[in-house]
Structure formats: structure tokens, C-alpha cells
Structure 1
Amino acid sequence: PGIAGDLWIAGGGKGLLHSTDGGRTFETLTTVKSASALGFGKAKPGTNYQALYLIGTVKDVTGVFRSTDKGATWLRVNDQAHQWGAIGGTGVITGDPDTFGRVYVGTNGRGLQYGDPARR
């Protein structure tokens, strides 16, 4: 995501892998049980690292997630009513490069969905 040597791999059932040395070594993020797809978006205001967007399973919950702290914590951004054709098995995801929190999801035959953060 714009940082030399910084690599992320959605490893399916092996979870989410992160390297900071150009791929010589990888760390597996323990909270991510599976990772079908990974994308990047604009950083949260006040931070400089891009937001991560994940289709996968975090702490035994399958869905669409966002992290603003390099994968240390994850916020689910969909709900059980919006699984869009079993997104946990396949799918494509990316964050918007210009709008923090906006996510685009390819939905396994149900079109392209996008969402913005809820206003609270």
C-alpha cells in the first residue's frame, strides 16, 4: 500500500499474512481465521496508513471488515442480512482511494455493492 517492502496476502484458510521485508518473512494475523480477499482504501483521518478491507472470517464471524490499525483490530461493516451470495467464499474488495470508509465489494454474481460509513 505505498510503503516499500510492505506486502499483504489474503491466504484463504491460512488467514491474512503481512510482510514488512519484501516477502522474506511473513506474520500471520491471529485474529483473521480466513481471508478470501483484501483491498486498501484511504487512511482514516489523523493516520497515515491506508485502511485495510477484508472479506473473510475474524474471530469466527464471516463478513466484510475494515481495519485502521494495520490489522490489529477489525470492524465488521456488513451484517448477516447482507452476505451477497456467500461473500465469504469468493469475492473482490477494495476501499475508495479518495473517501475514507467507502468500500466496494464484488458479490459473487449479485453485482457490485458499495457502502459508506454509517453516520452516528
Structure 2
Amino acid sequence: MPFDPVAAAARFHAVIGDLDFEAIDDFFADDATYSSGKVGGLKGRADIMAAFRRYFAEYPDQVAEDSLIEQVSARAARAVWSLRATSATTGCPLVRQGEETITFNDQGKVTNVDVTDF
């Protein structure tokens, strides 16, 4: 059965939504990269997971929704999303919309996430 990057991206977002850090960690390749205007560039699963843990400690109530996930290549999908969350520190709401391209390797592990906020 051929790899389906749309299904893989949907599963990836589902474990993030569940705050299942073990499953999130398992999605990333050891040498994965993650880039976003909000967090800059991260390299390696350990740095990416540390950033995820910091973010979700600050925004533990995040609710995200994909309005579109589409295949862009045999190993990549583009997701358009929106999210709402509340800062645990300030109580201020966070509302974001954007897109990300998620690239997977031959083992189905995430090798790159490139996030752009709208």
C-alpha cells in the first residue's frame, strides 16, 4: 500500500491535539527540522519536543482544526489550520491561522515541518 501523507498528517495533528507527547515524539525523525516565525528554526527531535512541551505548558487548552489537508508530493502534505488557546501565564487568548507543510521520510517519520502564519 502506498504511503498517504494526508492520512499521516491527520494522525500527526490528532496526537498533537491529544497532547500525547510520547506519540508526538515517535512521529519525528531524529534529525527532523521545524521552522516557524513564532519559534524560529529547530533541529533535532529533542529540541522540537522541548519546544512542544514549553508551548503546551503555556497553552494547555489549545483547540486546533484543519480546514484542509492536501497532498503536495509523495511524502508531503500541506495543512491549513486555525487554533484557539489561552495563556496559562496571562490568561490572554491566542488565535492563530496558518498553514504548514509536513514532510515524511520512507519510514513515515516527520523530517520537516514548515509553518507559516496568515
Name the TM tier (shorter chain).
0.3 to 0.5
Return the TM-score normalized by structure 1: 0.34
By relative contact order (CA 8 Å, sep 6+), the higher-ranking structure is: 2
With normalisation by structure 2, the TM-score equals: 0.34
- Structure with the higher fraction of residues in strand conformation: 2
